[in-house]
């Protein structure tokens, strides 16, 4: 089921152009089995194009794809029974209910016990509205139904393009729990996003792409370990003195003034060396009134993707309240 190399999904030299525009430019992804893989990249980087290739929706110009240990070609649509996907807005019969739509889907693909449909409606928190026509659904409700549809055949590999789109905070937390639970059962989940905060709180492994190429890939923890940031607060009238004190060891680029009025500076330094900053400042008679140490994936993301604007919050792992607004996810799944 899984490649000899332990990969659930691999692309090698994947290329795809739309007219003169190169969407994928020799993309190599290596997705280990049993992880939540965060597929990150700024707008237009090629995430959706990749997922369209992986689901046979578009034909690549070159390169190879291996899914669950076997080569995948566009004609192999049957192989996709092993793969659940949500790419672009899912299409449903608008005049049918959520339950009826899932039944239709189940009838057209691999066999699914009817109990599974009820289970999934519960997982995505649509039980109460399951008999309503989908045309009466909100955007987030349609997205939830799309996730249920992707899970229908109990796939070993799940490909989700921006699954959090349109979900409310509780829905996002619940989706994250659902995806983490799937990975803990040994399934592989690829989730694309341009939102760092989202990926940081749920992915084990991250692949960052820019302009159709992979720029960094690896366990999230390893990427973050190289990317420590300490934020330090001094009296606003001591900001210049603090900069002068730190500048010899932390030149511009590592040292930034984040909020002069409030006296915040940020320094790039390994998280376990945070105390060096307060020692140096104290040595110069500058006392620190606040210090936060964390890891800034956003900075790494911006560097790697050529500083293209990224959106999102929670760039301070461990400091951001990653569960904000999500306390209401009653069922512990997409609720
Ligand atoms: N059908 C298409 N026709 C022409 N160009 C396209 C088409 N689809 C995508 N592209 C181009 O391919 C590139 C990659 O687009 P893609 O949709 O894969 O990016 P993305 O990473 O999913 O971005 P986003 O975060 O905005 O969803 C972009 O330059 C885009 O303009
Ligand atoms: Mg996209």
DSSP 218-263: EEHHHHHHT-EEEEEE--GGGHHHHHHHHTTTS-BTTEEEEETTTT
Q: Do domains 7-224 and 228-295 have the same CATH topology?
A: no
The pLDDT of residue 314 is 32
Q: What is the pTM of this model?
A: 0.77
Biggest distance spanned by C-alpha atoms of the chain: 74
The pLDDT of residue 228 is 77
- Residue 232 CA to ligand 2 centre (angstroms): 37
Alpha carbons 334 and 229: distance in angstroms, whole number:
33
**Fold held by 7-224:** Rossmann fold (3.40.50)
The pLDDT of residue 131 is 96
- Residue 6 CA to ligand 2 centre (angstroms): 27
The pLDDT of residue 127 is 93
* Cβ pair 267, 232 in contact under 8 A: yes
Give per-10-residue mean pLDDT for the chain (335 aa): 82 97 97 96 94 92 94 78 84 91 84 89 92 92 91 93 89 89 93 87 93 93 79 93 93 84 88 85 93 74 62 32 32 36
Query: Which residues on adjacent β-strands are paired with residue 126?
Result: none
CATH code, 228-295:
3.30.70.100
Alpha carbons 98 and 164: distance in angstroms, whole number:
19
SS3 176: helix
Alpha carbons 192 and 302: distance in angstroms, whole number:
17
User: Which atom of ligand 1 lies at the shortest distance from residue 212's CA?
Assistant: 14
- Around ligand 1, the residues with Cβ closer than 6 Å are 18, 21, 23, 41, 43-49, 194
Q: Give domain limits for the chain.
A: 7-224, 228-295
Considering only CA atoms, which residue is closest to atom 12 of ligand 1?
A: 23
- Residue 317 CA to ligand 2 centre (angstroms): 25
* Cβ pair 65, 51 in contact under 8 A: no
The pLDDT of residue 273 is 81
Alpha carbons 333 and 144: distance in angstroms, whole number:
11
- Residue 88 CA to ligand 1 centre (angstroms): 11
């Amino acid at each position: 089921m899984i490649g000899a190399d332990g990969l659930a999904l691999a692309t090698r030299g994947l290329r795809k152009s739309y007219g003169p525009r190169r969407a994928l430019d020799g993309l190599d992804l290596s997705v280990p089995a049993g992880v939540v893989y965060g597929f990150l990249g700024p707008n237009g980087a090629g995430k959706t194009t990749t997922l369209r290739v992986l689901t046979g929706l578009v034909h690549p110009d070159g390169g190879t794809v291996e899914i669950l240990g076997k080569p995948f070609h566009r004609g192999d649509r049957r192989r996709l029974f092993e793969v659940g996907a949500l790419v672009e807005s899912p299409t449903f019969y608008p005049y049918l209910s959520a339950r009826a739509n899932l039944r239709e889907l189940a009838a057209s693909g691999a066999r699914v016990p009817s109990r599974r449909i009820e289970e999934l409606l519960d997982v995505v928190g649509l039980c109460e509205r399951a008999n309503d026509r989908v045309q009466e659904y909100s955007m987030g409700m349609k997205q939830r139904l799309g996730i249920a549809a992707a899970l229908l055949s109990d796939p070993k590999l799940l490909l989700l393009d921006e699954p959090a789109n349109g979900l409310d905070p509780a829905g996002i937390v619940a989706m994250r729990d659902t995806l983490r639970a799937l990975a803990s059962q040994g399934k592989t989940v690829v989730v694309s996003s341009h939102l760092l905060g989202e990926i940081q709180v749920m992915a084990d492994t991250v692949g960052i792409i820019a302009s159709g190429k992979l720029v960094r890939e690896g366990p999230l923890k390893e990427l973050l370990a190289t990317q420590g940031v300490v934020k330090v607060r001094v009296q606003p009238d001591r900001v210049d003195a603090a900069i002068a004190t730190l500048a010899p060891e932390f030149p511009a680029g590592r040292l930034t003034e984040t909020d002069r009025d409030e006296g915040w500076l940020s320094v790039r330094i390994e998280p376990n060396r945070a105390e060096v900053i307060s020692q140096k400042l104290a040595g110069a008679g500058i006392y620190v009134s606040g210090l936060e140490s964390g890891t800034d994936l956003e900075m790494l993301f911006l560097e790697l993707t050529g500083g293209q604007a990224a959106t999102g919050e929670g760039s301070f792992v461990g400091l951001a309240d990653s569960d904000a607004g999500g306390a209401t996810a009653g069922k512990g799944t997409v609720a």
